[in-house]
Amino acid sequence: MLTTKDIYETEELDFTAARTRQAVMNAKNHASSISPVKEALIDALISRSPRGHAKDLIQLAHHKLYGRNRPTYESAATRKFQEGRTETCRTVSDESVAFCEAMADPEADAERCRDLFRRALEAHVKYITDAGEGEGL
Protein backbone atom coordinates (compact mmCIF):
# COMPACT_ATOMS: atom_id res chain seq x y z
CA MET A 1 0.00 0.00 0.00
CA LEU A 2 1.36 3.39 -1.02
CA THR A 3 1.44 6.10 1.66
CA THR A 4 1.95 9.84 1.45
CA LYS A 5 5.36 9.34 3.02
CA ASP A 6 6.34 7.32 -0.05
CA ILE A 7 5.22 10.14 -2.36
CA TYR A 8 6.39 13.25 -0.53
CA GLU A 9 9.77 13.81 1.01
CA THR A 10 9.24 15.10 4.51
CA GLU A 11 11.43 17.03 6.84
CA GLU A 12 10.96 18.11 10.40
CA LEU A 13 10.29 21.80 10.90
CA ASP A 14 11.87 23.36 13.94
CA PHE A 15 9.67 26.12 15.33
CA THR A 16 11.10 28.28 18.06
CA ALA A 17 8.98 30.80 19.83
CA ALA A 18 11.81 32.29 21.87
CA ARG A 19 12.65 35.05 19.36
CA THR A 20 9.01 35.95 18.86
CA ARG A 21 8.40 35.99 22.60
CA GLN A 22 11.44 38.25 23.09
CA ALA A 23 10.27 40.61 20.32
CA VAL A 24 6.87 40.90 21.99
CA MET A 25 8.49 41.65 25.34
CA ASN A 26 10.72 44.29 23.73
CA ALA A 27 7.71 45.91 22.08
CA LYS A 28 5.83 45.96 25.38
CA ASN A 29 8.82 47.53 27.12
CA HIS A 30 9.21 50.24 24.48
CA ALA A 31 5.55 51.01 23.85
CA SER A 32 4.38 54.33 25.16
CA SER A 33 1.87 54.10 27.93
CA ILE A 34 -1.71 55.19 27.39
CA SER A 35 -3.39 57.16 30.13
CA PRO A 36 -6.51 55.62 31.68
CA VAL A 37 -8.63 58.43 30.18
CA LYS A 38 -7.31 57.79 26.66
CA GLU A 39 -7.71 54.05 27.16
CA ALA A 40 -11.35 54.51 28.21
CA LEU A 41 -11.97 56.74 25.18
CA ILE A 42 -10.43 54.18 22.82
CA ASP A 43 -12.49 51.40 24.40
CA ALA A 44 -15.67 53.48 24.11
CA LEU A 45 -15.03 54.24 20.45
CA ILE A 46 -14.02 50.73 19.46
CA SER A 47 -16.85 49.05 21.37
CA ARG A 48 -19.30 50.68 18.94
CA SER A 49 -18.02 48.63 16.02
CA PRO A 50 -14.59 47.01 16.23
CA ARG A 51 -14.99 45.55 12.73
CA GLY A 52 -15.97 48.95 11.38
CA HIS A 53 -12.90 50.56 12.90
CA ALA A 54 -10.69 47.83 11.49
CA LYS A 55 -12.31 48.12 8.06
CA ASP A 56 -11.86 51.89 7.94
CA LEU A 57 -8.24 51.65 9.08
CA ILE A 58 -7.53 49.00 6.43
CA GLN A 59 -9.07 51.33 3.85
CA LEU A 60 -6.88 54.18 5.13
CA ALA A 61 -3.71 52.06 4.99
CA HIS A 62 -4.48 50.95 1.43
CA HIS A 63 -5.28 54.53 0.41
CA LYS A 64 -1.97 55.75 1.87
CA LEU A 65 -0.05 53.04 0.02
CA TYR A 66 -1.82 53.13 -3.35
CA GLY A 67 -3.74 56.42 -3.44
CA ARG A 68 -7.15 54.80 -3.85
CA ASN A 69 -9.69 52.70 -2.02
CA ARG A 70 -10.40 49.07 -2.86
CA PRO A 71 -13.16 46.86 -1.51
CA THR A 72 -12.34 43.93 0.72
CA TYR A 73 -14.60 41.00 1.56
CA GLU A 74 -16.74 41.27 4.64
CA SER A 75 -19.73 39.16 5.52
CA ALA A 76 -22.84 39.90 7.53
CA ALA A 77 -24.77 37.12 9.20
CA THR A 78 -28.41 36.65 8.29
CA ARG A 79 -28.86 34.02 10.99
CA LYS A 80 -32.18 35.48 12.12
CA PHE A 81 -33.72 34.06 8.94
CA GLN A 82 -34.56 30.39 8.52
CA GLU A 83 -31.50 28.66 7.07
CA GLY A 84 -29.59 31.92 7.47
CA ARG A 85 -26.52 32.48 5.36
CA THR A 86 -24.02 35.26 4.96
CA GLU A 87 -24.42 38.37 2.90
CA THR A 88 -21.48 40.17 1.29
CA CYS A 89 -21.16 43.73 2.55
CA ARG A 90 -19.87 46.86 0.94
CA THR A 91 -16.57 47.88 2.45
CA VAL A 92 -16.01 51.08 0.50
CA SER A 93 -18.48 53.90 0.91
CA ASP A 94 -18.55 57.54 -0.08
CA GLU A 95 -17.91 58.26 3.59
CA SER A 96 -14.85 56.00 3.84
CA VAL A 97 -13.39 57.55 0.67
CA ALA A 98 -13.94 61.06 2.08
CA PHE A 99 -12.24 60.02 5.32
CA CYS A 100 -9.22 58.57 3.51
CA GLU A 101 -8.88 61.60 1.26
CA ALA A 102 -9.02 63.95 4.24
CA MET A 103 -6.39 61.93 6.07
CA ALA A 104 -4.13 62.14 3.00
CA ASP A 105 -4.51 65.94 2.90
CA PRO A 106 -1.78 67.57 5.03
CA GLU A 107 -3.96 70.69 5.31
CA ALA A 108 -6.98 68.81 6.68
CA ASP A 109 -8.28 69.87 10.07
CA ALA A 110 -8.10 67.19 12.80
CA GLU A 111 -11.71 67.79 13.84
CA ARG A 112 -12.87 67.34 10.24
CA CYS A 113 -10.93 64.06 10.01
CA ARG A 114 -12.51 62.82 13.24
CA ASP A 115 -15.96 63.76 11.95
CA LEU A 116 -15.36 61.98 8.64
CA PHE A 117 -14.08 58.92 10.51
CA ARG A 118 -17.29 58.86 12.58
CA ARG A 119 -19.37 59.19 9.42
CA ALA A 120 -17.45 56.37 7.73
CA LEU A 121 -18.00 54.18 10.77
CA GLU A 122 -21.72 55.01 10.85
CA ALA A 123 -22.03 54.18 7.15
CA HIS A 124 -20.27 50.86 7.72
CA VAL A 125 -22.54 49.96 10.63
CA LYS A 126 -25.58 50.84 8.49
CA TYR A 127 -24.35 48.62 5.63
CA ILE A 128 -23.74 45.72 8.03
CA THR A 129 -27.12 46.18 9.72
CA ASP A 130 -28.97 46.44 6.41
CA ALA A 131 -27.22 43.34 5.05
CA GLY A 132 -28.06 41.41 8.23
CA GLU A 133 -31.70 42.39 7.72
CA GLY A 134 -31.60 41.05 4.17
CA GLU A 135 -31.53 44.57 2.73
CA GLY A 136 -27.95 44.52 1.40
CA LEU A 137 -27.41 45.88 -2.09
Domains contained in the chain, CATH given: 50-137 (3.30.559.10)
Instruction: Spell out, as residue ranges, where the chain has pLDDT lower than 50.
Output: none
The predicted model scores a pTM of 0.61
For the stretch 100-132, pLDDT in tens is: 999 999 898 888 988 998 899 889 888 888 877
The alpha-helical segments, DSSP class H, found in 1-137 are 4-7, 18-30, 36-48, 50-66, 94-104, 110-132
| pLDDT at site 73 | 79
Q: What are 77's strand-pairing partners?
A: 86
